[in-house]
A and B are shown apart, each in its own frame.
Chain A
Amino acid sequence: MTSDRNRLSGPLADPTADAGYPDTHPPRMGFFTDTSVCIGCKACQVACKEWNLVPAETGELDLLGQSFDNTGALSANNWRHVAFIEQTVTPDRPPVDLGMPAIGPPAGDASDAGDGQVRWLMSSDVCKHCTHAACLDVCPTGSLFRTEFGTVVVQEDICNGCGYCVPACPYGVIDIRPGDGRAFKCTLCYDRLGAGREPACAQACPTDSIQFGPLEELRERADLRVTELHERGVDEARLYGRDPQDGVGGDGAFFLLLDEPEVYGLPPDPVVTTRDLPSMWRHAATAAVGVAVSVALSFLERGALERRKP
């Protein structure tokens, strides 16, 4: 069923079986992060750090001046990262009254009505546990591996610190931990999964923005949610990483977003670099032949072979 092409890119129904697990393996587990209900509390970030004993950032508290985000991006020491985006929007429909305390002048004060409503986007980012994970493909030691749950995990004890996974990840997730030299990222709480528990971030999330479960179920749930939002007039709701046809064969951790992915710091259409690996080797082989031929041609001269016998 798995042609050679599917091993490196394209849709792949069961990456766990593809990695060599027997048919009895558990279903592929993942995250569906519904950012439309994220309140930006960062409980996921805290829970992740606590459970996984991820060190605090070294040095002083770093205030980025980027809304409420002082983490900036996923890193070796931040396996969940809540992004905050403040947008000025012109409402094209009457705002839904959420019964929340309002910001700005009280309703009825018409001074600057019509333009300049503030919209908050918050999203908890995480490793995507790609179907075709470039980090795993390029890892030279086998330290990055596919678990029986279909997730992608680094075995720290054999990580060689070569850093190849870092530029390979099309989402900029995995990184080398400064002062340690090995690569770290979200494990989708491999230890908790093994014990039948849900990951720390999903358990800590107060609004169920982070949902954990078998990927098939999550995809169905996400489809329902996006339809529901569209029916309510939230046309900008879209799923990101849900599609098994995309450049990485679909994400094990996918998202419901309310704007373009790049607004959240996500690549709009990432492709697993290994898709092109066979072609890369073909070009390298041809170029290598080019070297051999060039060297040989350089020695072509009259009497080149006669010279051998002095």
Chain B
Amino acid sequence: MTGGGERERSMVPRAEFRSYYGRPILKRPTWKVPDVPGYLFLGGTAGASATMAAVAELTGRRELAGAGRWVAAGASVAGVAALVHDLGRPERFAHMLRVLKPTSPLSVGSWILAPFSTLATASAASQATGRLPGLGRFAGFGSGVLGPAMCTYTAVLLSDTAVPAWHEAYPELPYVFAGSALTGAAGAALLCAPRADHGPPIRMGLLGTAMELAALHRVERRLGLVGEPYVTGRPGRLLTLSKALVVAGAGLSLVSGRRAAPLLAGGAYLAAGLCTRFGIFAAGIASAQDPVYVVTPQRQGLGAAGLP
């Protein structure tokens, strides 16, 4: 196991690999781009924003709480719209709630997303209209409690597939998404909240940056051949860009005294979040389309014992 993609590639025993005319063994995931990776980003940002808003409310940072509620409601509504577009018809989203099936992360996720987006939207609506403030606050806390689940369940959604790069990364992906959700919510808050309230989002962004970078680093180091799509080609470039942007966001958020710095930091964080989700999504597709990522690890017995 090495850190660099280049060195890793030369270690890969491709010579022994046989296939049926080089055709993929797995089917290409049919989830649409940008709908699904876009949803991963929106859902994570919404989730962490709702939690931030709830804690801000508890600590008396009313304006930060307000901004967080707006972001949570806006991003979750946009996320639901993306999913409806992916499914093709609006009533299909309702059909997702027909049953609760514990073995299906999509079913469990629908039961997290539906109440979360309802509560987040309700609290933002109450805030906008000034009506039912008590219920609005309650809805805000409810969405804040569900928020962390919104950030990480999507990692299980991707990992619970036969797609090698997603499945084998299941111990790390939730932390990548959690870190990225924290920086996303921090970025949105840096853009929307008043300057006096920037302390908490700045610290959230730093914690998120550390979490995401550490988890991504472990994915690249631990997975060996199956981790290759994370460091090569288009997904590799997206993830490199994401890492650069998140570091830039963290650095800029610490610059004081310049008006543009928080705005640039916020923009960098949000762009990083998009790059992370699109990069991870694309890495999975790449690993499903090349039979080497199915055959070689299974031959080496890594498919069965992927964990250290």
Binding site for B on A (CB under 8 A): 8, 64, 66, 69, 72-73, 83, 85, 134, 137-142, 158, 160-164, 166-176, 181, 247, 260, 262-271, 273-274, 276-277, 279-281, 283-292, 294-299, 301, 304-310
* Distance of A194 Cα from B133 Cα, bound (Å): 59
Q: A294-B211, A298-B203 are in contact. Are A288 and B87 (CB under 8 A)?
A: no
Closest chain A residue, CB of each to CB of B177: A287
Q: Shortest distance in angstroms between A292's beta carbon and chain B's nearest beta carbon?
A: 5
Q: Shortest distance in angstroms between B11's beta carbon and chain A's nearest beta carbon?
A: 20
Binding site for A on B (CB under 8 A): 17-21, 23-31, 47-48, 51-52, 55-56, 58-61, 87-88, 92, 95-96, 98-99, 101, 103-107, 110, 147-149, 151-153, 155-156, 159-163, 166-167, 170-171, 173-175, 177-178, 181-182, 199-204, 207-208, 211, 284, 288, 291, 294-295, 298-299, 301, 303-304
- Contact at A247–B26, with CB atoms within 8 Å? no
12 contacts between A and B (CB under 8 A): A73-B24, A158-B95, A161-B92, A168-B162, A172-B25, A175-B30, A262-B18, A262-B19, A276-B167, A280-B174, A287-B151, A291-B47
- Contact at B294–A267, with CB atoms within 8 Å? yes
A-chain residues with CB within 8 Å of residue B98 when the two chains form the complex: 141-142, 158
* Distance of A134 Cα from B171 Cα, bound (Å): 19
A-chain residues with CB within 8 Å of residue B24 when the two chains form the complex: 73, 172
A-B contact count (CB 8 A): 242
- Contact at B148–A291, with CB atoms within 8 Å? yes
- Contact at B55–A295, with CB atoms within 8 Å? yes
B-chain residues with CB within 8 Å of residue A137 when the two chains form the complex: 103-104
A-chain residues with CB within 8 Å of residue B110 when the two chains form the complex: 140
- Contact at B181–A291, with CB atoms within 8 Å? yes
Chain B CB within 10 Å, residue with most, of A138, A281, A288: A288
Q: Which of B56, B104, B147 contacts A140 (CB 8 A)?
A: B104
* Distance of A295 Cα from B186 Cα, bound (Å): 10
Chain A CB within 10 Å, residue with most, of B23, B24, B56: B23
Q: Shortest distance in angstroms between B109's beta carbon and chain A's nearest beta carbon?
A: 8
Q: Which of A263, A286, A298 contacts B174 (CB 8 A)?
A: A286
A-chain residues with CB within 8 Å of residue B298 when the two chains form the complex: 267-270
- Contact at B51–A167, with CB atoms within 8 Å? no
Beyond contacts A280-B174, A283-B174: 14 other A-B pairs, Cβ-Cβ < 8 A, are: A66-B21, A138-B104, A162-B87, A168-B160, A169-B162, A172-B162, A267-B298, A280-B156, A290-B148, A294-B208, A304-B59, A307-B59, A308-B59, A310-B60
Q: Shortest distance in angstroms between B237's beta carbon and chain A's nearest beta carbon?
A: 23
- Contact at B58–A264, with CB atoms within 8 Å? no
Q: Which of A134, A173, A263, A270 contacts B20 (CB 8 A)?
A: A263
* Distance of A134 Cα from B167 Cα, bound (Å): 13
Q: Shortest distance in angstroms between A120's beta carbon and chain B's nearest beta carbon?
A: 14
Closest chain A residue, CB of each to CB of B182: A294
- Contact at A142–B155, with CB atoms within 8 Å? no
Q: A161-B88, A291-B48 are in contact. Are A138 and B160 (CB under 8 A)?
A: yes
* Distance of A297 Cα from B60 Cα, bound (Å): 15
